[in-house]
Structure 1
Amino acid sequence: MGVSPSGLGALLGEFEQNFRARGELGASVSVWWRGKEVLGDGRGWCEKEQHRAWTTRTLVPVYSATKVPSTAALMLALDEAGMSCETQVGEVWPGFPLPHASFAEMLSHQCGLAALDQPASLWDHEEVVAALEAQVPAWKPGEGHGYHPRTFGAMLEEPMRRLTGKTLGAFWNDRFARPLDLEFWIGLPESAQPRVARLYPGKASPNDFEEGFYKEFNRAGSVTQRAFGSPRGLRSVQEMNDPKAWGAGFPAMGGVGTASALAKFYQVLLGNIPGPLSASVRRAMMTRLVDGDDRVLVKPTAFAVGCQLDPLDSAGRKIRSLYGPSLDGFGHPGAGGSHAFGDPESGISFGYVMNQMELSVMPGRRSTVLVDALYG
């Protein structure tokens, strides 16, 4: 199974419908197959005032869709140091609260460090590391998993600095973005700032706050609320529109780029475009490690090393299909709707970015209709 002309046509039809009927402002979509882009479209506006037309080269922050590129960077650094995802974190970072946990366990959200008790600012890496090292894990590997929306960044950044002496963003830009010609930065250069679209927050309806995740998100002291609030800083969409945020290079949520660059990156993970990652690293990033109830997102999730997959029911069937029909599709969404994934079965990769956000930590309807149309 590969890409069909009818699937691409149906996807474009739904993309156009997003603008006509689903509140899209500016957006891009990209599909790659066998190492080549077979569909790339971008339209709309970079801001509501319609000063700049949106094109396929428009850049936009993608929040947690950054996590997979960031993980790939750390995995390459580990590989080049003669280590792997099975290496104990304590070998690189002795102060990590669970030093005997493997990098695979840490990067699949099994270490119970999603929320910090000690106050720390996202803008102060050393402060966040100190808070992490002082944190008593809420659970340990083998006791379940829960998404680490914000602390995940320092859990990537600190080992990277110890291994290479570089920030993760600098390593990504040097080893992936530039040599692979990916217009996706973790630490945006000032020269690219004029190409960044303005983000607009999604609007909540009363029903949204009755749903499991948002009910917990708004419950004082819940692990969900604490996980999305620590370390503190950069919580509003307005703050994410600040060039300071684009240039900071936060590994969990600070990536800025195009849909095409994200989809092309997943071709590298699939092995359809030559890149710096070994076959064993690429395999680890798409191999399901945990699957079940997520203590933070309050719904079933599944994770590999740094990547999300669709969870399965007891019969091995998908509970949802955010990553296409294949059981092995893997990727990561970003808050508000950005979405990217690779499909090992078909060889397809997909990227979607936008600036009118939806109220969702999972891909919203404007991206899922595109994926459904692509696969027919």
Structure 2
Amino acid sequence: MTPTDPRFAPVAELFERFAQEDPAYAGQLALYYRGEPVLDLSVGPDRAPQARPEPGGDGGAEDPAFTREVMTGVFSCSKGAAGVVMALLVQDGVLDLDAPVAAYWPEYGQAGKEATTVRQALSHQAGSLGVAGGFTVEEYNNSQLAAARLAAAPPNWRPGAVFSYHGLSIGILMEELVRRITGSTLQEVYEERIRAPHGIDFYLGLPESEEPRYRDVLKPEAGPLPFIDPFGYLGTAFNSTGGFTREDGEPGELLDLPNDRAIRAAGMSSAGGVANARGLARLYAAASTGIVGEDGTRSEPLLTEHTQTIMAEDQVFGPDRADGLVKAFGVVFMKPTPEKDFGSWRVFGHEGANGSFGYADPSYGIAFGYVPARGEDGGTLSRNGQLSVRVRQAVLQALAGG
């Protein structure tokens, strides 16, 4: 779409240049400003239909073109959607961030985790990175099974002493808390209270009816991720001791996860979400400003200003215990650092391992979504920036000059 606000024309032009600078590039970009969509773009050659290989085969069904409507895996952006669910429970008064996790989930209160608080668990301080041997895909897809194993395991450090990104297990923690508090799954609460009422193209559990719109995540051209010690902190956090098995029975990597139908159908809240850029931006607009409809009326924001402040408040900042990278987290949500500066002190959002990114910045009234067709060096596993950094800076420059 052509920018509805001329101030954002330079942002659209910059995004178009990505495809000019790299003929292989394809991606999506969406922006809401004060609740109204002002950008919804896709660029690149992958807008043309391609053959979508079947697992273990040489070809198969036609892959949907990488248009604005296509959805793909967005990895840890899923945590942002789950974070809005957790924020609603806080706002409802049924989840106390400073209560022990065991107050809601008694089995978790063992093996040195008796005093671990919800706040610690939701800001990567709990030390519940994983379990010996890793989790199976089946345990992630039915996280009650994974939760029982995680509850019995000792923490990887004294809870609260340090922090390290709970790349996959934070989804188990969130899902079990929601199940214990509401009697429903996190995915059900998200669908009923957030996604469906606001028409958001961001699914935690992609229905079969939406499969024709799914596009496989393409691997980075740089190749697979480097070796990670399976028994170290990082290896434990990313399930290296268990790994993943693809649909064709071969070993899989993290970036294979959403390309497995069983995983995207289950919608694991740490990494199984499926979205397009519009869906990311619309989620954060619904959460922070409300959305202006075609009739000019605005929906109430899902989260009050007070709740947004609670969830966006910095909980940890500094070097991650596992990889030494400087990171910052609020409650569930990522926060800016000098190396990855994506907004004001009020901003809240999450990026994904493939370089996808979604966030809301209440200071500017913006909600942002970015999704590349091919994984980029610069997602949650990298110290480098990615193309979305340039776009985010352009958005802020557009607003500063307006």
TM band (smaller chain): 0.7 to 0.9
Cα distance, 1:242 vs structure 2: 2.6
- Residue in structure 2 matched with residue 332 of structure 1 by the alignment: 350
2:281 maps to 1:263:
yes
Structure 2: where are the runs of 5+ without partners? 52-61, 246-251, 292-299, 398-402
**Residues 120 and 127 in structure 1, CA contact (< 8 A), matched pair in contact too:** no
2:8 maps to 1:8:
yes
**Residues 285 and 306 in structure 1, CA contact (< 8 A), matched pair in contact too:** yes
**Residues 135 and 239 in structure 2, CA contact (< 8 A), matched pair in contact too:** no
Quick one: structure 1 residues 5 and 107, their matched pair in 2 at CA, closer, same or farther if it must change by over 3 Å? same
**Structure 2: distance between partners of 1:200 and 1:242:** 13
**Structure 2: distance between partners of 1:85 and 1:268:** 23
Query: Which residue among 101, 105, 112 is the counterpart of 2:127?
Result: 112
- Residue in structure 2 matched with residue 314 of structure 1 by the alignment: none
- Residue in structure 1 matched with residue 342 of structure 2 by the alignment: 323
**Structure 2: distance between partners of 1:175 and 1:120:** 29
2:377 maps to 1:359:
yes
- Residue in structure 2 matched with residue 92 of structure 1 by the alignment: 104
SS in structure 2 at match of 1:32: strand
Cα distance, 1:350 vs structure 2: 0.8
Cα distance, 1:81 vs structure 2: 5.7
Matched residue type, 2:205 = G
Quick one: structure 1 residues 201 and 303, their matched pair in 2 at CA, closer, same or farther if it must change by over 3 Å? same
- Residue in structure 1 matched with residue 329 of structure 2 by the alignment: 303
- Residue in structure 2 matched with residue 315 of structure 1 by the alignment: none
Q: Report matched runs for 1:168-207 at 5 Å.
A: 168-204=186-222
- Residue in structure 2 matched with residue 233 of structure 1 by the alignment: 244
2:157 maps to 1:139:
yes
Query: Which residue among 52, 69, 74 is the counterpart of 1:57?
Result: 69
**Structure 2: distance between partners of 1:321 and 1:153:** 23
2:253 maps to 1:243:
no
**Residues 108 and 304 in structure 1, CA contact (< 8 A), matched pair in contact too:** yes
Query: Which residue among 209, 218, 222 is the counterpart of 2:232?
Result: 222
Cα distance, 1:24 vs structure 2: 4.9
SS in structure 2 at match of 1:148: coil
Q: TM-score, normalised by structure 2?
A: 0.81
Q: Which has the higher contact order (CA 8 A, sep 6+)?
A: 1
- Residue in structure 2 matched with residue 316 of structure 1 by the alignment: none
Quick one: structure 1 residues 297 and 262, their matched pair in 2 at CA, closer, same or farther if it must change by over 3 Å? farther
SS in structure 2 at match of 1:199: coil
Quick one: structure 1 residues 348 and 374, their matched pair in 2 at CA, closer, same or farther if it must change by over 3 Å? same
Cα distance, 1:261 vs structure 2: 1.8
**Residues 378 and 386 in structure 2, CA contact (< 8 A), matched pair in contact too:** no
Quick one: structure 1 residues 277 and 15, their matched pair in 2 at CA, closer, same or farther if it must change by over 3 Å? same
Structure 1: where are the runs of 5+ without partners? 312-318
Aligned length: 358
- Residue in structure 2 matched with residue 122 of structure 1 by the alignment: 137
Cα distance, 1:78 vs structure 2: 4.8
Could you list the per-position Cα deviations for residues 261-308 of structure 1 after superposition, in whole angstroms to 9, with x for gaps in the alignment? 211221233244424434443222211111111113421101001101
Structural RMSD (CA): 2.6
Matched residue type, 1:203 = E
Quick one: structure 1 residues 64 and 294, their matched pair in 2 at CA, closer, same or farther if it must change by over 3 Å? same
